[in-house]
Amino acid sequence: MTFLSVVIALIIEQFRPLRSDNLVHDAVAAVIKWIEHSMNAGDRRHGVLGWVVLVLLFATVTGFGYWLAWLGGPVLLLVFEVVVLYLTLGFRQFSHPFSAIQAALDAGQLDEARAVLTAWKRETDPEFSAERLSAGEVARSALLRALLLVHRHVFGVFVWYVILGPVGAVLYRVTEGAARLWHHPEAERFGEFARGVFAVIDWLPVRLTALGFAIVGNFEDAMYAWRTGSARWGDETGAIVLAAGGGAMGLSLAGGADHPVVLEASGVADASEADAGLKREVRAEHLKAAVGLVWRAMVLWLVLLLLFSVAMWVA
């Protein structure tokens, strides 16, 4: 049923994509912010308690819903799992700004591409401005944001859904939301534990996403970028995905998950990277290549899930 639920949810999401500002996501964000406002006293232990309350709340609600659906029979259980996946997965939730940037760059409308990128990035960084970015820098920034979002909205959810079912998918997204929304000066200590927990639960999904990109893309370059990127950036959440995703497309990227830069621009390019054949200039056509890379990776994991499901059924 796991494979069927994922396929149905992805098909529905393609035809009726959920808006990024939908009521469910807004309600979850409101709960996360309410817990911070109610429990943030500037100490890390309050953040631990806040995270426990948040997780118990959503785990209980999701688990109770799953139990009721199980009592109702396989059809109701399938419907419940599809609904949960539809609300937690998100191929199309961020495709509009990404496609708009790609179209604007293809048409030579740099100012339009800058405006769309600025509005998109300000969803998480209110101070961001693309006003002075070149076309290549706009393409690079859009590419990196898309790779990171597709990991956190698709592949990370997918991994934890396979491990823990609907509860795993919900807890991954809730924990990611807490780590993100509790990351500001007023909640620096309060959100420290949530960020640490998310780094732990994202450890496996990050590496599986990177491996998927490597398999369906340029494997040698992806693995090289993964290895050198890890050595340069450490285990920063998302950095491995960006390194391997760029390498899979023949691009060499460097920097953190929030402020990535091109290797050449940062002055750390070396002969070994040149020998690896990695390009350092991101262009508009790489945005289209990124879409193909993501879809191929998704098909790869769906095929593996199908084979695993068949093996379990036969056994």
CA distances from 197 to 180, 194, 268, 311 (A): 12, 5, 31, 33
Mean pLDDT, range 68-87, rounded to an integer = 95
pLDDT of res. 84: 96
Report the range of poorest mean pLDDT among 11-15, 125-129, 212-216, 266-270.
Answer: 266-270
Is 216 within the bounds of a domain? no
Is 208 within the bounds of a domain? no
Is 141 within the bounds of a domain? yes
Residue that wins the pLDDT comparison between 4 and 262: 4
pLDDT of res. 262: 37
pLDDT in tens, 223-259: 988 887 665 555 466 788 988 998 899 887 654 334 4
CA distances from 163 to 127, 156, 172, 238 (A): 37, 11, 11, 20
Label residue 2 by pLDDT band (50, 70, 90). Answer: confident
Reading the block at residue 30, the tokens are 């409101």
pLDDT in tens, 280-305: 677 878 888 888 999 999 999 999 98
Domains identified in the chain, total number: 1
Is 265 within the bounds of a domain? no
Is 68 within the bounds of a domain? yes
Is 309 within the bounds of a domain? yes
Radius of gyration of the chain from its Cα atoms, rounded to whole angstroms: 20
pLDDT in tens, 160-205: 999 999 999 999 999 999 999 998 888 889 999 999 999 999 999 9
Is 253 within the bounds of a domain? no
Q: What is the model's pTM?
A: 0.86
List the domain range (segments joined by +) for residue 182: 2-201+283-314
Is 210 within the bounds of a domain? no
pLDDT of res. 279: 63
Separation CA 237–CA 249 (nearest Å): 21
